């Protein structure tokens, strides 16, 4: 695990230091304080963690998250996504009056795909919380001792990092786990969470937490009383695909999209404007009949050209290339002078 973490840390530092970014630079020309973060947190980021200025993605996302909106962040790995969500959550938690107490249970939940990322996020969280010692960090993840995790959950963990399977286990079996006060749900590396086959677990977690939009779970499961606290949901993903889009649709409400170029906005628009037949669980493709909509500020002014005709076909993975070639061939045969642009 150490080795993997070390590798990742090197790769990340290189990306941040290397100054990669859409406009040629990864750092923003403002300070953390300009983003609205508490002065003590800004000092800590600068003096103790060595972060002089925010990265571009941090500068774009942090003010939006502080405003309380749901957010979908699309950014490559190593662009500083962990601070994107941890800094505003800590800012908002430390402002609470009366102060956060362990007896409040979990207030912020961060879902991650792997043990390695779980530990990596936990370490950053621990560092960030050094000045706010009344906010308790913690983690639960597959492969760890359940009894010890239960004891930690009983005492109260304010900001909890979790892998989906183990979280679901505790939601079902740990009665002393107070999750009804959760106010933030973060999906870090959502694409990897879904790639690793946690789609079904995530849907169950959303139902447990009463966070799935349009859920009928409450009626079906009268025993579970989800909290009425309104939640802020933050989804971060390096790649966008139908499954990530489906998760965004069932978990985010009127999200602000950050880090999406026009091409990706159009992908989201396209995915959202067709009847969404895929569910998060790859085995249940025939599942949801819910019409997907992903309203967003950035999409409001986006119109598809009137002459554009969109059709889609469900094709087994292995036949995709052959089918694409045969469609292209038939288009060229019908209209010899026409060109197809991608
Ligand atoms: N504002 C900043 N200034 C300097 N370094 C930063 C800043 N923000 C984050 N970093 C560093 O950049 C590296 C990448 O950050 P982080 O792990 O949050 O990125 P990420 O986008 O979440 O990457 P991944 O998706 O691989 O987890 C880390 O080593 C982190 O300490």
Report which protein residue has its CA nearest ligand 1's atom 16: 80
Report which protein residue has its CA nearest ligand 1's atom 29: 13
Q: Does the predicted interface ipTM exceed a cut of 0.90?
A: yes
pLDDT at 186: 98
pLDDT at 212: 82
- Read off the tokens for 73: 């962040």
Q: Is the CB of 54 under 6 A from ligand 1?
A: yes
Report which protein residue has its CA nearest ligand 1's atom 4: 51
**Where is pLDDT greater, at 217 or 256?**
256
Q: Is the CB of 56 under 6 A from ligand 1?
A: no
Q: Is the CB of 112 under 6 A from ligand 1?
A: no
Residue 257: in which H helix or E strand, if any? Answer: strand 256-258
Pocket test for ligand 1, best of 7, 12, 34, 195 (most atoms within 8 A of CB): 12
Q: How far is the CA of 220 from the centre of ligand 1 (A)?
A: 42
Pocket test for ligand 1, best of 17, 78, 87 (most atoms within 8 A of CB): 78
The per-residue pLDDT for range 78-87, each reduced to its tens digit, is: 889 999 999 9
Identify any residues that bridge with 232 across adjacent strands, giving them in sequence order: 184
Query: Is the pLDDT score of 59 beyond 60?
Result: yes
The set of residues, in sequence order, having a beta carbon less than 8 Å from that of 21 and lying 6+ positions away, is: 27, 55, 56, 79
- Chain centroid, CA 298 distance in Å: 18
Residue 293: left if φ>0, alpha if ψ -120 to 50, beta else—which one?
beta
Q: How far is the CA of 74 from the centre of ligand 1 (A)?
A: 14
Q: How far is the CA of 75 from the centre of ligand 1 (A)?
A: 11
The per-residue pLDDT for range 99-132, each reduced to its tens digit, is: 999 999 999 999 999 999 999 999 999 999 999 9
Burial class (CB in 10 A: 0-12, 13-18, 19+), 321: exposed
Q: What is the dihedral of CA 285, 290, 294, 299, to 10 degrees?
A: 100
d(CA 111, CA 150): 18
CA 54 to ligand 1: nearest atom: 1
Among the listed ranges 144-148, 227-231, 287-291, 307-311, which one has the minimum average pLDDT value? Answer: 287-291
The per-residue pLDDT for range 239-261, each reduced to its tens digit, is: 999 999 999 999 999 999 998 76
pLDDT at 18: 39
Q: How far is the CA of 336 from the centre of ligand 1 (A)?
A: 51
The three-class DSSP label of residue 109 is strand
**Where is pLDDT greater, at 306 or 218?**
306
Residue 94: in which H helix or E strand, if any? Answer: helix 81-94
230-260 burial string, b = 16+ CB within 10 Å, else e? ebbbbbbbbebebbbbbbbbbbbeebbbbbb
235 in Cβ contact with 257 (< 8 Å): no
- Read off the tokens for 114: 């792997």
Q: How far is the CA of 108 from the centre of ligand 1 (A)?
A: 20
pLDDT at 229: 65
**Where is pLDDT greater, at 4 or 235?**
235
pLDDT at 277: 27
Q: How far is the CA of 126 from the centre of ligand 1 (A)?
A: 15
d(CA 217, CA 207): 6
Q: Is the CB of 113 under 6 A from ligand 1?
A: no
262 pLDDT band, cuts 50/70/90, is low
Report which protein residue has its CA nearest ligand 1's atom 15: 80
Mean per-residue pLDDT for 148-166? 98
Among the listed ranges 14-28, 48-62, 145-159, which one has the minimum average pLDDT value? Answer: 14-28
Alpha helices in 140-284 (DSSP H): 146-155, 164-173, 190-195, 199-208, 217-220, 242-251, 262-273
Q: What separation in angstroms does the CA of 261 have from each of 174, 216, 246, 254, 258?
A: 43, 35, 19, 18, 9
Mean per-residue pLDDT for 319-329? 80
**Which phi and psi angles does 273 have, rounded to 5°?**
-95, -5
193 in Cβ contact with 243 (< 8 Å): no
Identify any residues that bridge with 160 across adjacent strands, giving them in sequence order: 109, 138
Residue ranges per structural domain of the chain: 2-309
Average pLDDT of the residues of the chain:
79
36-52 burial string, b = 16+ CB within 10 Å, else e? ebbeebbebbeeeeebe
Pocket test for ligand 1, best of 82, 120, 189 (most atoms within 8 A of CB): 82
Percent of the residues in the chain that have a pLDDT greater than 90, as a whole number: 60
Query: Is the pLDDT score of 219 beyond 80?
Result: no
Q: How many other CB atoms sit within 10 Å of the CB of residue 130?
A: 10
pLDDT at 153: 98
Architecture of domain 2-309 in this structure: 3-Layer(aba) Sandwich (3.40)
Q: What separation in angstroms does the CA of 88 have from each of 82, 125, 128?
A: 11, 12, 11
């Amino acid at each position: 695990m150490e080795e993997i973490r070390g590798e990742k840390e090197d790769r990340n530092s290189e990306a941040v230091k290397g100054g990669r970014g859409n406009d040629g630079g990864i750092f923003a020309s403002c300070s953390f304080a300009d983003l609205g973060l508490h002065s003590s947190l800004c000092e800590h980021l600068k003096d103790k963690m060595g972060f002089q200025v925010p990265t571009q993605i941090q500068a774009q996302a942090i003010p939006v998250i502080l405003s309380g909106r749901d957010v979908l962040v699309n950014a490559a790995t190593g662009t500083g996504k962990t601070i994107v969500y941890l800094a505003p959550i800590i800012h908002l938690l430390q402002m609470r009056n009366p102060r956060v107490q362990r007896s409040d249970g979990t207030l912020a939940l961060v879902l991650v795909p792997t043990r390695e990322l779980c530990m990596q996020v936990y370490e950053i969280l621990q560092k960030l919380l050094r000045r706010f010692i009344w906010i308790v960090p913690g983690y639960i993840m597959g492969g760890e001792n359940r009894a010890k995790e239960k004891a930690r959950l009983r005492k109260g963990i304010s900001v909890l990092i979790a892998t989906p399977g183990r979280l679901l286990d505790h939601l079902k079996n740990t009665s002393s786990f107070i999750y009804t006060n959760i106010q933030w749900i973060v999906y870090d590396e959502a694409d990897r969470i879904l790639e690793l086959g946690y789609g079904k677990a995530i849907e169950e977690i959303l139902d447990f937490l009463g966070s799935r939009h349009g859920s009928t779970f409450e009626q079906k499961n009268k025993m579970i009383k989800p909290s009425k606290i309104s939640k802020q949901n933050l989804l971060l993903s390096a790649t966008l695909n139908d499954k990530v889009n489906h998760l965004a649709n069932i978990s985010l409400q009127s999200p602000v999209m950050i880090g999406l170029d026009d091409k990706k906005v159009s992908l989201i628009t396209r995915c959202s404007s067709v009847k969404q037949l895929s569910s998060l669980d790859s085995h249940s493709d025939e599942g949801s009949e819910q019409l997907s909509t992903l309203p967003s500020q950035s999409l409001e002014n986006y119109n598809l050209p009137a002459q554009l005709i969109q059709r889609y076909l469900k094709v087994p993975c292995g036949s995709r290339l052959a089918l694409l070639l045969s469609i292209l061939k038939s288009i060229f045969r019908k209209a010899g002078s026409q060109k197809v642009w991608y």
